[in-house]
Amino acid sequence: MKVLLTGATGYIGKRLLPVLIAQGHTVVCGVRDKARFQPPTSVLEAIEIAEFDLLEPETLGNIPSDIDAAYYLVHSMSVADDYVALEKASAINFREVINHTSVKHVIYLSGIINEEELSKHLTSRKNVEDELAKGNYKFTTLRAGIIIGSGSASFEIIRDLTEKLPAMITPKWVQTKCQPIGISDVLKFLSLTLGNEKTFNKNFDIGGTDILSYKNMLLGYAKVRGLKRYIWTVPVMTPRLSSYWLYFVTSTSYKLAIALVNSMKVEVICRNDDLNKILNITPISYQRALEKAFAKIDSNEIVSSWKDSLISGRLNFNISDFINVPQYGCFVDKRSQSFKDRKECIEKLWKLGGKNGWYYGNKLWKLRGFMDKLVGGVGLRRGRTNETDLEAGDALDFWRVLYANKEEGRLLLFAEMKLPGEAWLEFKTQGNTLIQTATFRPKGLGGRLYWYSVLPFHAFVFKGLLNGITKSEEDSTMVKQEQAT
């Protein structure tokens, strides 16, 4: 079949793509920004790329009319305060354009909604489901709760809380029951539902084998990791205070934290396991899902991460809008340094940030990240998805990768920390020289005052960063030997 995959750059879409190709389908990858989509060369012959924005009807003509089926994996949670209206408009626009194609089956991944009073987030998902169901095609909704997998938002939040806090005083919503599901099972349900007549015009809840409270999920994580953790619940923590707690301790954005806290008050337990029987799937346990996630992390095989979605940052933009660094009306800090081994220099450059740090003044980078968190920014806690590879669209601490080309020797980052202006950090090789350029386009007088206030720190932070990247391992070893003697 020819299948339209919306959200092909998202957490689920990126992982579903190779599964669909392995099943023999031709996949039309629906993306809002082609610059963010860099599929592996092994799948290029089996895919087409369609660039469109569901909130811009004039772009929807890029969707082919000869598709047989479609996945709706798009959501706007935490992008804007009015995301409920945005999600409904997206669903309507999608339905109208799909009605004029040859699509026979549409599959939507939603959230479990078996409560009368739903959170704003789950109400929005239900609204989308209702709109998509009005199309002149067969329609299936799969409703999932907490998804556990390397890079998933839920997994990363559980990981942050349990790894960082030996003891937790938590709000009462940690007693809420849920039925987590492993990402591998989600992919099985999504792929095997495609074209299955027994699923047409129905909705199904999908979940793992365990029904757990959020507290038990945290303690279960600690057990898998061999950690001893203590959790006490208090009834006085308001939703806003809970949101701040999640925001400061974990890598989530504040808007996402609010949406999650409001959803965590609602039980998300599967009504039945009808789909398991239809598709002959036996889901894995919560513990097994955790073990599989850590197997991917340990082998550095994280295919996708929620952090690389633009909703994890402070801006919602197309990369192509910022890839050309401005020259006029900007402050520029430009430095260059020669290197001995180009390959070694590029490899070090591509390992910037995350656990590896910034080669110089890491405490200052962490301080800047903490200050960013205090004013509502993303801080440094997002880290990076892959320890050695970078692609356009990846989150890199409080930066966003706009361009990454090893052969060209160019890496361009855009700042997503809170700033009175816009900032870019670019690295480019030229011969045996690495050129590092920090560009800041100020907004008003405040932006200019900000630049001059941080200028003294640039003298050693940016210089140290450049030296750290260009210094060869041989030179570093010699320095350590000299210090030892």
pLDDT per position as a tens digit, 353-379: 888 889 998 888 888 888 887 877 777
Confidence grade of residue 303 (pLDDT, cut at 50, 70, 90): low
- Look at 83-87, 227-231, 381-385 and tell me which has the smallest mean pLDDT: 381-385
8 Å CB contact between 169 and 80: no
User: What's at 448, amino acid-wise?
Assistant: R
pLDDT per position as a tens digit, 332-346: 999 999 999 999 999
d(CA 173, CA 352): 37
Beta bridge partners of 181: 147
Amino acid 429: pLDDT: 93
8 Å CB contact between 261 and 238: no
Task: Find the helix packing angle between 11-22 and 183-193, rounded to 10°.
Answer: 50
pLDDT per position as a tens digit, 120-133: 677 788 889 999 99
User: Averaged over 42-56, what is the pLDDT?
Assistant: 88
**Which range scores top for mean pLDDT: 95-99, 327-331, 403-407, 411-415?**
95-99
DSSP 187-204: HHHHHHHTT-GGGTTEEE
d(CA 375, CA 372): 5
Looking up tokens 């999608």 gives: 94
Question: Do the bridges between strand 410-415 and strand 399-405 make them parallel or antiparallel, or are there none, so unpaired?
Answer: antiparallel
d(CA 397, CA 380): 4
Amino acid 347: pLDDT: 93
Reported pTM: 0.75
DSSP 446-475: HHHHHHHHHHHHHHHHHHHHHHHHHS-HHH
User: Averaged over 26-50, what is the pLDDT?
Assistant: 85
Amino acid 470: pLDDT: 93
User: Averaged over 247-259, what is the pLDDT?
Assistant: 70
Amino acid 484: pLDDT: 44
At residue 349, the 3 state secondary structure works out as helix
- Look at 32-36, 164-168, 212-216, 288-292 and tell me which has the smallest mean pLDDT: 32-36
| pLDDT at 105 exceeding the cut of 90 | yes
Amino acid 81: pLDDT: 61
| C-alpha radius of gyration, the chain, whole number | 23
What architecture does CATH give domain 2-307? 3-Layer(aba) Sandwich (3.40)
Element (H, E) at 108: strand 105-111
Query: 251: how many CB neighbours lie within 10 A of its CB?
Result: 23
8 Å CB contact between 202 and 27: no
**Which range scores top for mean pLDDT: 39-53, 108-122, 136-150, 222-236?**
136-150
SS3 content of the chain, % helix, strand, coil (to 5): 45, 20, 35
Domain-by-domain residue ranges, the chain?
Answer: 2-307, 325-482
pLDDT per position as a tens digit, 193-250: 999 999 999 999 999 999 999 899 999 999 988 889 998 888 776 666 777 777 777 7
> May I ask the CATH class of domain 325-482?
alpha beta
Q: What is the mean pLDDT of the chain?
A: 84
d(CA 372, CA 378): 7
- Look at 95-109, 241-255, 419-433 and tell me which has the smallest mean pLDDT: 241-255
Amino acid 117: pLDDT: 67
8 Å CB contact between 204 and 141: yes
Amino acid 299: pLDDT: 58
Cα angle 110-111-113, degrees, rounded to a multiple of 5? 120
Looking up tokens 């009807």 gives: 57
d(CA 395, CA 414): 10
User: Averaged over 307-318, what is the pLDDT?
Assistant: 54
User: In angstroms, how far is CA 325 from the centroid of its own chain?
Assistant: 24
Amino acid 296: pLDDT: 75
